[in-house]
Amino acid sequence: MASMDDMPKSMSKSVTLKTGTANLGDSHIEHKAISRAIWRPRPKRRWLAGRIFFLLTLLSTLIGLISLIFLLESILGQGWDRVSWEFVSSFPSRIASRAGIKAALVGSLYLTGLVALIAIPLGVGAAVYLEEFAADTRLRRMIDVNIANLAGVPSIVYGMLGLMVFVRICAFGHSLLAGACTMSLLILPVIIVTAREALKTVPMGVRLAALGLGATRWQAVRAHVLPTAMPGILTGVILSLSRAVGETAPLLMIGALSYMAFVPESPMDDFTVLPIQIFNWSARPQDEFRVAAAAGIIVLLGVLLTVNACAIFARMRFQRKMQW
Amino acid sequence: MKKLLFACALFCILITLGIVLVLLSEAVLFFEEVPLLDFITGTIWAPMFEPKSFGVLPLVCGTFLITCGAAIIGLPSGLGVGLFLNDFAPNWLRSIIKPVLEILAGIPTVVYGYFALTVVTPLLQRMSPSVEVFNAASAAMVVGVMVLPMVASLCDDAIRAVPRSIKEAGYALGATKCEVALQVTVPSALSGIVASFILAISRAFGETMAVTLAAGSTPKLTLNPFESVQTLTAYIAQVSTGDTPQGSLEYKSIFAVGMLLLVVTLFFNMLAYYLVKRFRTVTE
């Protein structure tokens, strides 16, 4: 245990207890204050304060738990009956009872695949450079601050960037490719941050041992550091991909369709995704469409849960393999 | 190989530059037609009607209303969860609460919007019939729940980083759990906690889908949370889903609004970044 002297100044300053203090001064007034604290400990009141504090923190925890249960319960209640193979395998329709999510589901999967192809190499590459190669220069610090900022930029702003750069300047149109590029930019900072965290956990000894045996820096990274960090990187990548699956606003900006009667076949085709379809149905006043939206949400949450379960499974497999 | 990886890292700076350039280039065109001062101080936002008016204050007001509401709900309860996890929850409970928070954090925002529109709003309407179908209160509530897991996990990290020794010192002096938490732990972890608050506010500020679905699209200068309002992000979403011709004043206006959005969130994020850095150097 660290002694009081080890503590930084700013911290020990804040350690003043109103009930009894260790700093026994000589002055009369201070002494009086201390004796008051010692002789009137007010145990009942302090016990009560402790109880109230406990209840408040418990209450705030319950807010989170209850909202999750309430949210899932109401969505399942509204949409569960509507989920069927027919719902998954038919195209959207003007008639609510016949509307399905085939185009949206295929579009979502297609988009996620493309995003993975674009964002993973870029993100992991950047993380490897920043953790393994970059010297602590001004440029690197600039990139650090920059990534922290990018992670906080509202998603709709990425949509505007995508609209101008990919839809207009690169002339991809409102295509899957434009959507995938925009989404990749959005999740890039998240991938970089999580991949860097994973690389940080690799013990220094792994690198030193490889270098000591005559490996080049890149060889050490490729053959030893990356495989060791793989479970962490993989989890981060999958979690950020699941963010891309659920994100709506940027795709709304670049003009993903809300009505699609065909399945996209090439990256240059028009597309729609599940969240956009859900958004479109929820925004309509008719109850039938709201029910369809709830059913769509169930499918979306199902996909997300499966993806996350895959992440956990993959991490476990990797960890078993890595035991040496 | 190293150069290739370096290019990847440099790409991030390129994204930032791209965002700033895109927004600036269109916003400049907008401000050629609408003076900056009118934009910032105007109180009427009517881009669709004649005479057109581009005073951004109603949008800012709507955003402010929802961000404040979300902060009132999300911040204290997030901190509460952080304290509960550290001071009271036994390990088995912790291992339940943490995944629940992760699930909450992973739910797409459009789902929260649907929830606000079809569940929260009818509930509010049952309590008071004067609540409109689209209202700021329901949006603020779900955004509050949306930021809660983020605040909770960041606060949890900050509180866990407080050295055990100074907590023990507090207990040794006879302080109760509550006193140690409020007078020792929270002050020591303050910069991390404040940073989590700022990040949450910035997130609520830039939130789009839930707000578009639940709060409506009536730009209004009001502080009544039960009326329909429009936020900055909801306006951008509205214009982009409508068929606005490229190059029209309306089209350019979304870039001016986006610029405002970016500047505010950037300010919040920088603040949080430096606070977190400070908190790291204090605790390590």
Q: List all residues of chain A from 47 to 66 with a beta carbon under 8 Å from chain B.
A: 47, 49-50, 52-54, 56-61, 63-65
Q: What is the largest CA-CA distance in chain B?
A: 71
Could you tell me how many CB contacts below 8 A there are between chain A and chain B?
A: 302
CATH for A258: 1.10.3720.10
- With an 8 Å Cβ cutoff, are B265 and A152 in contact? yes
Pull the structure tokens for residue A78: 């509204």
8 Å CB contact of B236 and A133:
no
| pLDDT tier, B245 (very low <50, low <70, confident <90, very high otherwise) | confident
pLDDT tier at A20 (50, 70, 90 boundaries)?
very low
Structural domain count of chain A: 2
pLDDT classification of A34: cutoffs 50, 70, 90? low
Mean pLDDT of B170-194: 89
Chain A residue numbers touching B5 (CB-CB < 8 A): 125-126, 128-129, 133
* Residue pair A176/A111 in contact by the 8 Å Cβ criterion: yes
Return all residues near A11 (Cβ < 8 A) that are at least 6 apart. Answer: B163, B166, B188, B282
Q: What percent of chain A has pLDDT over 90?
A: 34
Angle at B196 between CA B193 and CA B201, to 5 degrees: 130
The predicted pLDDT at position A11 comes to 42
Residue A240 placed within a domain: yes
Residues A60, A204, single domain; the answer is no
The answer as to whether B83 is a domain residue is yes
Q: Is the confidence at residue B272, as pLDDT, over 80?
A: yes
CA distance A301 to chain B (A): 7
Asked which of A196-205, A207-216, B44-53, B110-119 is least confident by mean pLDDT, the reply is B44-53
- Answer whether A57 sits within 8 Å of B80, measured CB to CB: yes
Rounded mean pLDDT of A268-290?
Answer: 87
A106 and B CB contact within 8 Å: no
* Amino acid B53: pLDDT: 81
Decide if A248 and B179 are in contact by the 8 Å CB cutoff: no
In angstroms, rounded to a whole number, what is the distance separating the alpha carbons of residues A285 and A281?
A: 9
Q: Which helix (H) or strand (E) covers residue B46, if one does? A: strand B45-46
pLDDT at B251 > cutoff 90 = no
A16 domain-assigned: no
What pLDDT score does A199 carry?
92
Statement: residue B281 has pLDDT above 80? no
A-chain residue closest to B20, CA distance: A161
A282 CB within 8 Å of a chain B CB = yes
Distance of CA A3 to the CA centre of its chain: 38
Nearest CA distance, A223 vs chain B (angstrom): 14
Q: Which of A13, A60, A305 to mutate to test the interface with B (most CBs of B within 10 A)?
A: A60
Considering only CB atoms, which chain A residues are within 8 Å of B164?
1
Handedness of CA A236, A294, A72, B72 (dihedral sign): positive
Q: What is the pLDDT of residue B23?
A: 92
Q: What is the mean pLDDT of chain A?
A: 82
- If one counts the domains in chain B, the total is 1
Does residue A263 lie within any of the structural domains? yes
Task: Please give the distance of CA A159 from its chain centroid, rounded to a whole number.
Answer: 18
| More confident: B147 or A2 | B147
- Please give the mean pLDDT across all residues of chain B: 88
Q: Round to whole Å and give the CA distance between B193 and B157.
A: 9
Q: Does residue A24 surpass a pLDDT of 50?
A: no
* Whether A53 and B11 lie within 8 Å, measured CB to CB: no
So what's the pLDDT on residue B109? 92
Using DSSP's 3-state secondary structure scheme, residue A172 falls into coil
Amino acid B110: pLDDT: 92
The pLDDT of A154-180, averaged and rounded, is: 90
Q: Are A75 and A108 in a shared domain? A: no
In a domain, B46, yes or no: no
Q: Is residue B49 part of a domain?
A: no
- Please list every residue in chain A whose beta carbon sits closer than 8 Å to the beta carbon of residue B24: none
d(Cα A184, Cα A174) in Å, to the nearest integer? 16
**Which of A65, A82, A99 represents a domain boundary (last residue)?**
A82
Residues A145 and A291 in one domain: yes
State the pLDDT at residue A16.
45
What is the CATH classification number for the domain harbouring B181? 1.10.3720.10
* H/E segment holding residue A73: helix A43-79
Of residues B100, B184, B282, nearest to A68 (C-beta): B100
Question: d(Cα B80, Cα A58) in Å, to the nearest integer?
Answer: 7
Model confidence at A27: pLDDT above 90: no
List of chain A residues whose C-beta atoms are within 8 Å of the C-beta of residue B78: 60
Please report residues of B whose CB lies closer than 8 A to that of A283. 213
DSSP string, A81-120: GG-SHHHHHS---SSGGG---HHHHHHHHHHHHHHHHHHH
B146 within domain boundaries: yes
Q: Please check whether residues A64 and A115 belong to one and the same domain.
A: no
- Do A104 and A78 share a structural domain? no
Q: Any idea which residue has 């109230």 for tokens?
A: A52
Name which of A16-25, A26-35, A75-84, B23-32 the model is least confident about: A16-25
Whether residues A219 and A198 fall in one domain:
yes
- Kindly state the average pLDDT of the residues A285-307: 89
- Chosen domain end from A82, A97, A118: A82
Do A54 and A168 fall into the same domain? Answer: no
* A191 and A256 inside one domain: yes
The mean pLDDT of A274-303, rounded to a whole number, is 89
In B141-200, the residues whose Cβ lies within 8 Å of chain A are 145, 148-149, 152, 163-166, 168-170, 173-179, 181-184, 187-188, 190, 199
Structural domain containing residue A54: 22-82
pLDDT-derived band of residue A267, with 50, 70 and 90 as boundaries? confident
Residue A2 clears pLDDT 50, i.e. is over it: no
Which of B12, B214, B24, B258 lies closest to A253, judged by CA?
Answer: B258
| B84-102: average pLDDT | 87
Task: Check if the beta carbon of residue B177 is closer than 8 Å to that of residue A92.
Answer: no
A152 touches chain B (CB under 8 A): yes
Angstrom distance (rounded) from CA A98 to CA A86: 9
The reply to whether residue B173 touches residue A153, judged by beta carbons under 8 angstroms, is no
| Residue B45: strand pairing partners | B54
A2 touches chain B (CB under 8 A): yes
pLDDT digits (tens, 9 = 90+) for B122-166: 999 898 888 888 889 999 999 999 999 999 999 998 899 888 898
B77 contacts A164? CB cut-off 8 A: no
A176 and A303 part of one domain: yes
Residue B26 within a domain: no
pLDDT of residue A7: 42
CA-to-CA separations, B29 to A269, B243, B249, in angstroms, rounded: 32, 20, 9
Q: What is the pLDDT of residue A9?
A: 43
Mean per-residue pLDDT, A289-315: 86
Q: What is the pLDDT of residues A57-78, one digit of tens each?
A: 999 999 989 999 999 999 999 8
- Residue A163: DSSP 8-state: I
Boundary residue ending a domain (A36, A58, A82): A82
Domain co-membership, A95 together with A217: yes
Task: Quote the pLDDT of residue A12.
Answer: 41
Backbone torsions φ then ψ of B45, nearest 5 degrees? -110, 105
Strand-pairing partners, residue B153, are none
Taking an 8 Å cut-off on Cβ atoms, the answer to whether A64 and B81 are in contact is yes
Among the residues of chain A, which ranges form H helices? 9-14, 28-39, 43-79, 85-89, 102-128, 138-152, 155-162, 176-200, 204-212, 217-220, 226-246, 249-254, 274-282, 287-321
Q: Give the C-alpha separation, B158 to B155, whole Å.
A: 5
Contact at CB, A156 and B208, closer than 8 angstroms = yes
- The lowest-confidence range among A7-21, A120-134, A244-258, B66-80 is A7-21
Same domain, A156 and A248: yes
Nearest alpha carbon to residue A244 among A293, A296, A179, A196:
A179
Shared domain check, A254 and A235: yes
What confidence category does residue B115 fall into, taking pLDDT thresholds of 50, 70 and 90? very high
Does residue A156 lie in a domain region?
A: yes
| Cβ of residue A302 closer than 8 Å to a chain B Cβ | no
Query: Is residue B104 less than 8 Å (CB to CB) from chain A?
Result: yes
pLDDT of residue A19: 45
Q: How far is B70 from chain A (nearest CA, A)?
A: 13
**What pTM value is reported for the model?**
0.85
For residue B225, what pLDDT band results from cuts at 50, 70 and 90? confident
**Which range marks the domain in which residue B201 is found?**
59-283
Provide the token pair at B30: 């907008």
Q: Could you tell me if A315 lies within 8 Å of chain B, comparing CB atoms?
A: no
Question: Which comes out higher in pLDDT, residue A147 or A91?
Answer: A147
Inter-chain touch A154–B233, beta carbons under 8 Å: yes
Both tokens assigned to A122:
């870029």
